[in-house]
Structures are given as C-alpha cells and as structure tokens.
Chains A and B, each alone.
Chain A
C-alpha cells in the first residue's frame, strides 16, 4: 500500500537555514497493517505522517501510494487523494467549532463530489459509540468523545488508509486507551492504520513499530500485540 524510498524532507527556517527533518527514509507498509511510528519530540514523526497523508511533499525520494508515485503530485491532485484515500486524526481533534457532531462527520463528503449521505454519517457516529450525540455541538462533548467524532469523520469517505498523529496525546489514559481500542477494532475490520505516538504503551497495540531518531528509521520491528495480528 505504501512504498517509501530514500525519502528526504528539508525545511527552510525563516532565516533561510535548512532543517533536515527526514533523511534517507525507506520502508513499505502492506495493506491491512497496523503500524505505530514512535520517536522523541522533533525526531520527524509528523513530517513523515504529513507526507504519507499527502498534506506535504518530500524534498527528494519517491512515495508510492497504492502503486501510484504521488511525490510530484500537484496540490489539487493531493487534495483529491486526501479526500478519497486517506482519513486523518489529529492530536487536538480539530473539529469545526459551533458545529454539531453529525455535521463534522459529514464534512469530507462535501468534497467527494457525491451526495452527502446523512444516514451514513449517523451510522459512523453509532460505530464510534456516539449514536445519541449527533445533534450535540462540539463544545458539549468531552475530549474522548471529540476524538471519536474525529475518527468517524476520518471514515466518512471510506478511505483505505487511516492516519493518526498522537491521537491520545490530549486525553487522559482511560480515554486514550479506549481510542486505541477503537483503532484496533477498525484495523480488525480491514483498514490500514498508521499511528504516531510518543509512548510505548500506545505502541503496544500495533503489529509493527517504526522508531524514528533524528529523521532516520532507527528500528523497524514486528511485534505480537494483544489484539493485533500481522496479516503477512
């Protein structure tokens, strides 16, 4: 599903000095895998996830998504990929304020070119355990509930790939644990999932762990997690 080769990402600071966030990164992720990306702050996890999620483009190297080399895609082409192939979950939930849970889930459907299916959005809310909360405004929901809404939103256009950047980072451990549990279930339903995380406990849910240090893949290991099987 994902083939990354000799990927490099260099940012330019405001004063023009270059910062290399990723260097010579190469790996593959097969469809159906559940992968965590772990590493210290500033090691390049978000940079990598943003490129995988087609929010950003690599400075050099190639990135193939489902067989397509998307490294040179235009902004518009990447927008279409994000719309149909990728679901994003963020640390700070990033729900639209002054908007109901249901409306938030529907947002990706606005851009898919298809009719907005309200029943599907409601079903997704039910799937993440918020059947009763569709009409609630975001501000009336707890952090854990907001993150569930965000996950339902990420699933709205049925993307094969689900990306989460520290999805439990802003939650207490119980809520965080239940979010990870939900992601594990979604993986079991056949989705490919990549989760960026700081901590090892979260990483333990996944079948594979990538460790990044200073922009380099320092370790790539399979693990037999309690709930995750590696379909290989």
Chain B
C-alpha cells in the first residue's frame, strides 16, 4: 500500500468517527500544549533574565576582580570582603596587561544611612573611579557625572539614583542640595536615569555614586577595593587576559601555587549565562510534567485503538480477504495512530503557543516562538502514535480473516 493512500484512508476513518478521534487526540493535545507553552515561557523568561542581568552589569565586555578565594555569595561589599585588592593592583593591571582597555576601581557598601534635612533613607554607596559609570552604561538624567577632577581633589560630590530622589526629594530638585552620607556632607551633582529591575526583580536605583578616592579617604577610611573592573579589547576571548591578570596579581600578592588565590575573577557574560541556565533547568522539570501528560495521552490512544480493533474485526477480515497482507493491516493501524496523534499534537502546539503568548503578554515579557520546540513537538507526537499504536496494530494484523468474516 502506498503511504499517501494509507494516510488518506486514516484521515477518512478518523473523520467518520469524530468523537472517538477527538478523545484519542485530547491527551496528546494537552501534553504537547504544555510542552510548547512551557518551552516558550521558559525561553521568554531566560531572555528576560539575560536582559535584567545586562541591566545590572551594564555591559558584557568586562571582567570583575573581587577579593577573596572562592566566588563570594552575593555582591561584594566593604563589610564582606578581605582587604586584599589595592589601588596599586588596579593601576598595575591597567599598565601591564595587554588586551585590557581600561580599569575601574570600586569601593562599595550597602545599607548606609543617607539624610536630607529631616528625611532619611538607606542606600548602597559606590565609590567609583570616573570611568566606571561610563563603562557600565550609567546615564545622567540631570546634572553632571563624576569627573576625574572630583576624584583627584577628593570632592564630596554625589550622583544619586531614582530611588534616592523619591525617598529624599519627593518634591524638590535634588541638584545642588546637600545630603549626609553616614555623617559626611555631600553635594548632589547629578541624577541617574532609572535602570529598572535586576535579576529577581529588585530595584537597581537605590544607589549613590561618589568618587572612589573620596570614599576611601573621607567616608569609609579603607584602602582596599571591593571590585576592580577591567574592560577587555576582545570580550569574546577573555581567557588569556584573565590568565594574565591572575598571574600578575599572584605575583604582586606573593602567592605561589598551590597556594590559594586571594582574589576571584568573574566573567560577566559567563555569569549571566549561568544564571539564565538556572531558569531553563526549571523548564526541564516542567517538561517532565508535559512528558507524563503525553504518556497518558499515548495510553489513551492505545486503549481506544484496542477497542477500535475489536470493533473493526470484520473490516480487517474484509481487507485481508481482498488481498491485504498482515503488514498492510499493521501499517494502516500504525498510521492511523500516528495521524490522530499528530493532529492532537498540532492542536496542542496551537494551544500551547496561544497560552504562552497570553502569559507573556500578562507579564509584559516578549513572546519567544521556538521553532525547534515546534519541530520536536511534531516528532514527539508522531513517536507517541507509533509507539502506542504498536500493540493495537499488532493485534489487528494477527486477526484471523476467516474468524473475522464468519457472521
């Protein structure tokens, strides 16, 4: 029998038993719908996580050097890091490592009290070298950015984030006002553009930038750094530069392998991918749920097909009598199972994409249409039909025609 004919025959048979066909499709439809929806939502979430991460780190063409051996949990701050990274280390990296475009210095602490007249709030304070804001894509909404001059003269100037504006200057222009960070007075010199949410949805705007030397000498009285950020000439191949920086720092800190490093170099892009991966691992678990739904769908197909085979004994007998071989009958029932499963799968894909689109729209996420998943969904439904159609088809093929035709 020609396969085209068998498919036509299957479609005809299915169309003439619409109720049974729909029941057979249902399980596969649900399974494929959840598979497609989950894959699509998972991809939307992954892309959004990457975007949020990018918003936090600004750009991916940097590596961050933080004090301490293994990667410290959470963000480094003056209270959580060991005092191993010095200003001189930053200068040495900038001067000696090829492939490093520029180096920024950071000295930061969290939850510092900030006051303006009677109003008070807490903020992350970042002492940064003047090039840092630009390297990490921070933009000024009004006023000015920190200058090299400010840093060199230990000026007490601050550039504040939108959450600080909301907290301290609800109905005032903050520019030119004096705020007290800790108990040190600073002049508000600029206001940052809002950055929105970072990974996990927390605000990135509760932040104040001051010159790093001012921070070190006038606010925190610490001579070590919490982060050295190095911008790379070739962000696609960070390995050699990372290795060179490690070697330099080991030499400067007198570390001889196998002695443990007192610093960690983190690649922003690698981190982002890793975090996004966590999201897709969750997707894998959800895919497991879809697989279970499809196994149930396949079982439904199998049992309804087995019933159909019993009911269609006479048809099978007739086909055998007029020349169908066992394999012809087997093929017919296999194709029928695969066809009904694929129809169910196609309905499921439509449903799943519809659902994912709705979900994405509600969370204001971009819709991710993954052709790969659609292709897999089609193959999976063919597979379900073939696997679960096997037993009914085998049973049909082995019906004795004489028996089946006896009235």
Contacts and interface: CB of A to CB of B under 8 A. Distances in A.
A113 to B, nearest CB: 8
A75 B326 CA distance: 8
Interface stretch (A12-20, A27-35, A82-90, A175-183): A82-90
A80 B325 contact: yes
B250 interface: no
Contacts of B321: 53, 55, 82, 88, 90, 94
Given A79-B320, A96-B315, A98-B16, A55 B325 contact: no
A55 B320 CA distance: 9
Interface string B321-347: 111111110000000000000000000
Contact of B318 (A75, A76, A84, A94): A94
B402 interface: yes
A227 B323 CA distance: 31
B5 A157 contact: no
B68 to A, nearest CB: 75
A55 B401 contact: yes
A216 interface: no
Contacts of B315: 96-97
A99 B15 CA distance: 11
Contact of A111 (B12, B328, B405, B407): B328
B325 A153 contact: no
A50 interface: yes
Nearest to A91: B407
B402 A111 contact: no
A60 interface: no
A94 B319 CA distance: 10
A130 B261 CA distance: 95
A108 interface: yes
A133 B87 CA distance: 98
A228 interface: no
A153 to B, nearest CB: 7
A111 B326 contact: no
Tell me the dominant secondary structure on chain B's binding face: helix
Interface string B38-62: 0000000000000000000000000
A59 B326 CA distance: 22
B405 A56 contact: no
Contacts of A88: 321-322
Interface residues of A, number: 32
Contacts of B324: 79, 83, 110-111
A90 B320 CA distance: 14
Interface string B1-41: 10001000100100011000000000000000000000000
A55 B322 CA distance: 10
B314 interface: yes
Contacts of B17: 98
A159 to B, nearest CB: 9
Nearest to B315: A96
A110 B405 contact: no
Contacts of A112: 323
A79 B323 contact: yes
Given A56-B402, A111-B324, A94 B317 contact: yes
A157 B401 CA distance: 19
A92 interface: yes
Contact of A84 (B323, B401, B407): B323
B225 to A, nearest CB: 81
B318 A116 contact: no
A128 interface: no
A79 B17 CA distance: 28
Contacts of A56: 402
A108 B317 contact: no
Interface string B150-174: 0000000000000000000000000
A1 interface: no
A116 B9 CA distance: 13
A32 B198 CA distance: 91
Contacts of A79: 320, 323-326, 328
B319 A90 contact: no
> Closest 10 interchain pairs by CB?
A83-B323, A111-B323, A108-B322, A79-B325, A92-B407, A98-B16, A82-B323, A94-B318, A111-B324, A88-B321
14 contacts: A56-B402, A76-B325, A79-B324, A79-B326, A82-B323, A83-B322, A84-B323, A94-B314, A96-B315, A110-B1, A110-B324, A111-B322, A111-B324, A154-B322
Given A76-B325, A111-B319, A111-B322, 17 more contacts: A55-B401, A75-B325, A75-B326, A76-B327, A79-B325, A80-B325, A82-B321, A88-B321, A94-B318, A96-B315, A107-B318, A107-B319, A110-B324, A110-B328, A111-B324, A111-B325, A156-B322
